[in-house]
Amino acid sequence: MTEYKEWLGNTPVDSALNNRYEAALKKRQLVIQYEEALANTAPPHEDEYHHYIEYERKQGDPARVMCLMERALTDNPLNSTRWLDYLQYLDQVVKVKNVVLSVYSRAIRNIPWVVEVWTQYMLAQQRYKLHFSHLEETLEEALKSGFSDSASYLSLWQCFPSL
């Protein structure tokens, strides 16, 4: 803010802007411990992200939770537990078709061996009333993933709607 005030010269700082700046500083103070924990530990920061995400969930701002989940997945894109947690959060809290389905699509590209992601993706497609052909394509892709047990294939078929 000091540099901004210098740039303004003799012009006073708008009070609304100053109030927002003060609010941002307060919010920063609340999360600085989590950011420092991330900065001072080695990747993949699983425990640090877990505590930080739980804190943000309690604050109730879905955008901040989503940003933090994205950061966690950037650090460790093969963490199936984190993906499933993120997808569940999106399904339960965000509920925006384009957002939810695009994250499911990214999840199956990163962890295609996790049958729960495929089954939840198919259920989300049904929930958002996608055309049956999309479900067929998803099932065909899932069947090519090469699951190691028959129970995984059974789970897929149980999610597939019979018309």
Tens of pLDDT, residue by residue over 37-91, are: 999 999 899 999 999 999 999 999 999 999 999 999 999 999 999 999 999 999 9
The per-residue pLDDT of the chain, averaged, comes to 95
- Given a contact cutoff of 8 angstroms between Cβ atoms, the answer to whether 56 and 65 are in contact is yes
Strand, helix or coil for residue 93: helix
Strand, helix or coil for residue 54: helix
